[in-house]
Chain A
Amino acid sequence: EVQLVESGGGLVQPGGSLRLSCAASGFTFSSYWMNWVRQAPGKGLEWVATIKADGSETLYVDSVKGRFTISRDNAKNSLFLQMNSLRAEDTSVYYCTGGAGWLIEYWGQGTLVTVSS
């Protein structure tokens, strides 16, 4: 059974940092592109970042470029999102997702990040 389990969410002040983690199991993690997708309260889903299977390339939505860093550890079947200079508009449920290429096949249940003073 495929599982993606996110952790690391919580309450952080504006300008602060947070690191999200995602533990993957049940599929060949090292062969899959992985992403972070978020959903702000009452809003639609938004793609945040992607890292290719071997970690050779990363892509970001414009609003997080220079502030967020996606990374992975294929030896530990883990995905990460380092979030710096957080803003109120980054408040969202963050989902770890993965697939063979751009198609998203698997999703986690999400972790809530709240940016507020």
Chain B
Amino acid sequence: ENVLTQSPGTLSLSPGERATLSCRASQSVAKDYLSWYQHKPGQAPRLLIHGASSRATGVPDRFSGSGSGTDFTLSITRLEPEDSAVYFCLQYAVDPLTFGGGTKVEIK
């Protein structure tokens, strides 16, 4: 299976700063079928990015995805208090689907 490793485990930043989250795959992700999600406590996870770089409907342009092959990045610019959450990646190119372990973003 394609193992996804996310780093860092936790990111503590101030409002207005930029967050850079990494998702590294053990094998190349075909067709860049890599998505990112935001998960707040007590809520359903929310799709942010699919196809490595395409924003889902209604997602602010402060969120952007990039990367290809085995290295992918989620960037969040101009951090807001509401961005506090766990962010995780998913590769949906091959069965079994696999998830990254998540990055917790804390807003100081």
Contact = CB atoms under 8 A, between A and B. Distances in A.
Interface string B35-51: 10100001111110010
Interface stretch (B15-23, B67-75, B76-84, B89-97): B89-97
B92 A103 contact: yes
Interface string A88-106: 0000000100010111111
Interface residues of A, number: 22
A103 B42 contact: no
Contact of B100 (A37, A44, A102): A44
Interface in A20-64: 35, 37, 44-47, 50, 59, 61
Contact of A45 (B35, B42, B56, B88): B88
Contacts of B42: 109
Interface of A: 4, 35, 37, 44-47, 50, 59, 61, 95, 99, 101-110
